Amino acid sequence: MNCRRCRTPLEKPGDYCLSCDAANCESVVIEFGDRRATLTMIGFEPERTGDDFDPSSLVLGETTVTAVPDDGERTATMYLRNFAGRVADEARRKRPETVYAAGERDPLREARAQLHYEFYRVPDDDPVGAVLERRGEPALATVEMPPGEKLGGSHSTLIGDRTGMKAVLTAAEHPHVKKVIPGPIDAGGQGSQSGLRAKVTRADQHGNVRLLLRDGSSVQENRVVTTAGDRETGERVRAALNEVLTDAGFGEDGHG
């Protein structure tokens, strides 16, 4: 494959061109298995497309990353970091606008932590097809601000103390979150022995959502202002927030 701007040959499909400082890959789709990950590179859509345009023509190619066999001396954590790190390195070669991922949760979670791009989980059954269906959707604005600076409102207390704060900051760290406004605490809920749990509820007509924190019999509803402008795009943010909360161990099926 050659660079789309200067036509310099690229080592791998979708690589960022260092000769003319140009991106050739709009997004990367990663399918994670236990010991193998497949990266599919998606190119930029032409400014003008006809009715007969085939979205699959945007696929630039695939790259497979295989985990280094465990020699019995490394811990499971080291093995996971090494595998996810090699996948992340491959994605960084492309400098994509967005990374989409599907498959095994543990390497996906570790790769998300190592990649500083917009990162979304997509359905496991056909991740590339799901991404191609999203083409044409408006890109959401991002907020480059430390998560702690996104907290506001008249209620400063969070249930769960440090654990509650960690859950809120996990959500606030998402680039499509503008602000998190803690709400009052309701201590009359149904008790739970599973520890603090967090869940983001359906988006409203403006694309904003609610972050529900539950800890024992206490419930707190926190307003989350997002960069989405309508319910449909707000639902995309909601799904992404619930995914990162689950990965952090705060989801309703989590273990944190």
**Mind listing the pLDDT tens digit for each residue in 163-205?**
999 999 999 999 899 999 999 999 865 655 578 999 999 999 9
Q: In which band, very low, low, confident or very high, does the pLDDT at 254 lie, cut at 50, 70 and 90?
A: very low
DSSP per residue, 236-250? HHHHHHHHHHHHTT-
Residue 34: the pLDDT is 87
Q: Is residue 11 part of a domain?
A: no
Confidence check: pLDDT of 151 > 60: yes
Q: Over range 142-164, report the average pLDDT.
A: 88
Percent of the chain with pLDDT over 90: 64
Q: In which band, very low, low, confident or very high, does the pLDDT at 238 lie, cut at 50, 70 and 90?
A: very high
Q: Is residue 153 part of a domain?
A: yes
Confidence check: pLDDT of 224 > 90: yes
Q: Are residues 126 and 33 in the same domain?
A: yes
| CATH code for the domain of 52 | 3.30.420
User: For residues 108 and 102, what is the distance between their CA atoms, to the nearest angstrom?
Assistant: 7
Q: Report DSSP state, residue 49.
A: -
Q: Over range 16-41, report the average pLDDT.
A: 96
Residue-number span of the structural domain to which 85 is assigned: 27-133
Q: Are residues 47 and 107 in the same domain?
A: yes
Q: Are residues 157 and 108 in the same domain?
A: no
pTM: 0.75
Q: Over range 65-89, report the average pLDDT.
A: 85
Q: Are residues 63 and 161 in the same domain?
A: no
Confidence check: pLDDT of 230 > 90: yes
Q: Is residue 140 part of a domain?
A: no
E strands of the chain, at which residues?
A: 27-32, 36-42, 59-66, 98-103, 118-121, 177-181, 185-186, 197-200, 209-215, 218-226
Higher pLDDT, 181 or 67: 181
Q: Is residue 3 part of a domain?
A: no
Domain count, the chain: 2
Residue 73: the pLDDT is 61
User: For residues 137 and 247, what is the distance between their CA atoms, to the nearest angstrom?
Assistant: 26
Q: Which among 133, 160, 178 is the end of a domain?
A: 133
